[in-house]
Amino acid sequence: MKDNYTVVRQSKEEEADRSGLKILFFGLTGAALWVLTAYAVQLFFTTAEARYLVGGLAAGFFFLVALILEGFFVKNGLLLRAIAALQGVAPLALFTEYLYPVPSIPLIAGAVLAAAFIAGGVGHGAHVLKNSMKVSFMAVTRAFLPRLLTGVLLFATVLFYLNYFAWGGFSDALGRKLVDQFLKSSEPVVGLVWSGVRLDQTVGEVLARVAEKQLRNMPAVDQKMVRQYLAGDEMSFSRLTPELQKRTVQGAAEALRVALAARLGPIAGDEKVTDAAYRIAAGYATRVSPGTQTIAGVLLALALFLSLRGFFSLFLWLVAFVAYLFFKLLVAVGFARVVTESATREFVIL
């Protein structure tokens, strides 16, 4: 004989959806934010302008907030998952040229997978909420966010791969801009090692700074390095005359340039560092076979996804906090209500 021990919950109000308009509001708001996120990210990939990256991050942030609120307010589990899934594939409306007449399978697959993670995350969070005796916002939110973040970053990574490795969106102008921005962002770190080095200088100027730094750190400079300019076998670089120092630095810088050219290809001393860096990178890319480019693109996209997920996971608490503020605001203005439910439980005593 099977015993059934039950928990009987009692409330004056049924836990069910009551306002179709409010649900529609959440659905449209979330879809709009997700489309805006994808649009800004796409513009960033095609223009490399920071304002689009900032816009995409902001829209994506509030999209996650909207998804959390959906999970709290929409009670019908099937309806909730359907809304989240439709929101997940909404950005496909931006890429109709890649859907017809020849559909882009990676694009569609990326959108579907993103929608699956988004719907799964919202559904899982709502399930945790439904089985909680008390509305603990932060605890329930932790059930939402990991899958939601995965879905968002997955689609962004697919756009990265398609733009740069499938759709031919990588132009010379974009490549130069990306290289310039990368070198500019790394300049403070380079300056810590070689003071006075700026990456908008020529190759010769940068190598001269590097060579001078190395020479000053050497305990002695041998006669071969400065050729006929020294009378003795070796002496400290600081003891050389200014003219000998200049010639020694020039010789060392030229030796560095020749060594780099042997490894990377021709490099002119009067060429800008940014121009040389882009030319070398572009030349390497053109020599790689299409198959290797595809593999490299997939690996790079995977590395980007894992890096972004690890980085943005550090800020999920901020998403949860902002969602909590919106939740409290919506309850305070009467948009939603928190209803208390009593419960009776069977138990055994002696």
Tokens of 184: 């500019």
Could you report the per-residue pLDDT of 275-312, keeping only the tens digit for each? 888 787 777 766 767 777 788 788 888 988 999 999 99
Averaged pLDDT, 165-175 = 72
What are the residue ranges spanned by the domains of the chain? 7-170+290-345, 172-287
Instruction: Spell out the residues 6+ positions from residue 171 whose beta carbon is closer than 8 angstroms to its own.
Output: none
**Does 7 or 110 have the greater pLDDT score?**
110
- Identify the pLDDT of residue 33: 97
Q: Residue 4's CB: how many other CB atoms inside 10 A?
A: 5
Find the helix or strand (DSSP H, E) in which 156 lies. helix 137-165
Q: How far is CA 147 from the centre of its chain?
A: 16
Residue 23 has pLDDT above 80, yes or no: yes
Residue 190 has pLDDT above 80, yes or no: no
Place 59 in a pLDDT band, splitting at 50, 70 and 90: very high
- Identify the pLDDT of residue 346: 47
Question: If you count DSSP H runs as helices and E runs as strands, how many of each does the chain have, helices first?
Answer: 12, 4
Place 235 in a pLDDT band, splitting at 50, 70 and 90: low
Q: How far is CA 125 from CA 19, 20, 75, 338, in A?
A: 21, 21, 11, 17
Average pLDDT value for the chain: 80
* pTM reported for the whole predicted model: 0.70
CB-CB contact of 344 with 10 (8 Å): yes
Find the helix or strand (DSSP H, E) in which 221 lies. strand 221-222
